[in-house]
Amino acid sequence: MKDCQILIIGAGIGGLTAALSLQHYGFKVAIHEQAPELGEVGAGLTITPNATHAFDFLGLGDRLAESYCIPTAGAVKNYKTGETLLKTYRGNTPFEKYGAHYFQIHRADLHTVLIEAVLANDPDCIHVDHAFVDLSQDDSGVTARFANGDTASGEVLIGCDGGNSAVRSNVFAPEPVVFTGQVAWRALVPADRLTEELMTPPSCAYIGPDRLFTRYFIRKGETVNVVALARQPGWEEEGWTIHAEIPEFLDLYHDFHSDVKEIIKVLPPELLYKWALRDREPLANWVCDRVTVLGDAAHPMTPFLGQGAVMAIEDGMVVGRCFHEAPNITEAMALYEGSRKERANGVQIQSRAQAASYQGSALENYNPGRNAEGRGLFEYNPVTVPLTV
C-alpha cells in the first residue's frame, strides 16, 4: 500500500490537507491544480476546533498562530436594533473545552502554510496549470487527462476540485449545480478604518430578514474580514474575484444597524467582491472504484455554519488515516466513505437549514442554541474518531 501513487486534483484547502495527511503516513502524492500559479485568493475563514485538531496533529499549529486571530468573544445581534441575541466566549474557552483552538484566518495565509508543509515533504509534488478534464480507470490504475495535454497515472485519484468538481461529474451520474438564491458579499477592510466600538465584540454577526452580515479580525488584527449573505435571486455569477460596488451593498443593507452601514461605507472599493452561491444534492456514494471525492467536491457547503473548509480539513485528515489503516485500496476507499459520508453530508444539510434560522423575516426562526457549536459539531476530532465502513 505505501508505495501506491495517489493523484489529487485541486490544491485548495481540502486537497492540500489530504496531501499532508497522506504524506504524514508515508504515501506519495501528486497534486494537479488548474490555476497557473498558487496565488492569493479568498478572504477570511473561521476554523473551528474540530478542524484545528488536524492541523495540530500535522505540526502546523505554531506556523498558523503567526497569522491567525483568536477572537476573545463573539456575538449574534439583531440587524436593526443591534441588540445582542447571543454572546459566545471564545479566547481560550474552546481550547479548554475541546483541546484545540477556534481561530479566524485569511484563506491565503492558511493556503500558504499548507503549501509550504506539503512542498517540504516533497518539493516536486504540486503541478500547476493542470486543469483536469477526464479520467479512465481499470484494474491496474487510474489515468487523468489535463487541458494542457498532459496525463498522470496512479493507483488512486481523489477529486478535491471544489463545488463544481469535474472529477465528480466524470465518475458519478450527471446532476445539476444549482444557484441557491444567495449571494455572498466579501470584503477586507484595514482595521485602522474602524473604531474599537464598531469592532466590539471582535467577532460578530447581524441577522435580519433575508440577510446576514458578519465581520471579524484576521491577520493579527490588521484586517477585518466582512462576509454578508443575502437572498438575491437573479444574479448568478461565481468566483473569488468578481468586483462589487459599495452603493449597491449599502442599498442592500439600508435598514441594518448604523454600525453595519459605517463599516460598509469605509470598505476599500477594490476589495469588495460578490459571489453567487451554488449547491449540489448530497452525494449518495463517494467512491467509484479507484476514484473518490473530498471537500466541496463531495459536499458543497453553503457558508451558514462556517463549516465548508472545516469539513474539507476533516475529510483530508481522515483520508490519510484510512489509507494508513486499511490493508488495500478497496478497503481504504470504503473506510473513507464509511467514516466521512454521514457526518459531512449531514453538515451540508444542516448548513442549508441554518439559512432559514439567520434570515427569517422577523427572526422568528432564530434559535441561538442551533449554531455550529450548539449542534455539537466542535466535538468531533478527525485525528481520533473511530474509522468505520
Ligand X SMILES: Cc1cc2nc3c(=O)[nH]c(=O)nc-3n(C[C@H](O)[C@H](O)[C@H](O)COP(=O)(O)OP(=O)(O)OC[C@H]3O[C@@H](n4cnc5c(N)ncnc54)[C@H](O)[C@@H]3O)c2cc1C
Residues binding ligand X (CB under 6 A): 9-15, 32-35, 45-46, 131-132, 160-162, 166, 184, 186, 227, 275, 277, 295-297, 301, 303, 306-310, 312
User: In whole angstroms, what separates CA 136 from the centre of its chain?
Assistant: 29
Please, what is the minimum distance in Å from the beta carbon of residue 191 to ligand X? 18
Count H helices, E strands: the chain?
Answer: 10, 18
Comparing CB distances to ligand X, the nearer of 301 and 318 is 301
Residue whose C-alpha cell reads 474540530 in the numeric block: 50
Comparing CB distances to ligand X, the nearer of 307 and 381 is 307
Comparing CB distances to ligand X, the nearer of 276 and 326 is 276
Under 8 Å between Cβ of 216 and 225: yes
Comparing CB distances to ligand X, the nearer of 331 and 382 is 382
Of 168, 155, 114, which Cα lies nearest the Cα of 299? 168
Q: What is the DSSP letter of 69?
A: B
Q: What is the DSSP letter of 4?
A: -
Please, what is the minimum distance in Å from the beta carbon of residue 78 to ligand X? 22
Residue 39 grid cell? 496565488
Comparing CB distances to ligand X, the nearer of 295 and 320 is 295
Comparing CB distances to ligand X, the nearer of 28 and 145 is 145
Comparing CB distances to ligand X, the nearer of 81 and 108 is 108
Alpha helices for 255-328 (secondary structure H): 258-265, 308-325
Please, what is the minimum distance in Å from the beta carbon of residue 139 to ligand X? 25
DSSP 316-358: HHHHHHHHHHSSSHHHHHHHHHHHHHHHHHHHHHHHHHHHHHH
Establish whether the linkage from the previous residue to 300 is cis, with ω within 30° of 0: no
Contacts of residue 124, defined as CB under 8 A and 6 or more positions apart, other chains included, come to: none
Please, what is the minimum distance in Å from the beta carbon of residue 97 to ligand X? 19
Residue 261 grid cell? 452601514
Under 8 Å between Cβ of 314 and 384: no
Please, what is the minimum distance in Å from the beta carbon of residue 18 to ligand X? 9
Please, what is the minimum distance in Å from the beta carbon of residue 22 to ligand X? 15
Q: Is 85 helix (H, G, I), strand (E, B) or coil?
A: strand
Q: Could you give the CA distance from residue 205 to residue 207 in angstroms, rounded to a whole number?
A: 6
Please, what is the minimum distance in Å from the beta carbon of residue 4 to ligand X? 21
Of 272, 265, 269, 196, which Cα lies nearest the Cα of 228? 272
Please, what is the minimum distance in Å from the beta carbon of residue 328 to ligand X? 26
Comparing CB distances to ligand X, the nearer of 158 and 333 is 158
Under 8 Å between Cβ of 58 and 117: yes
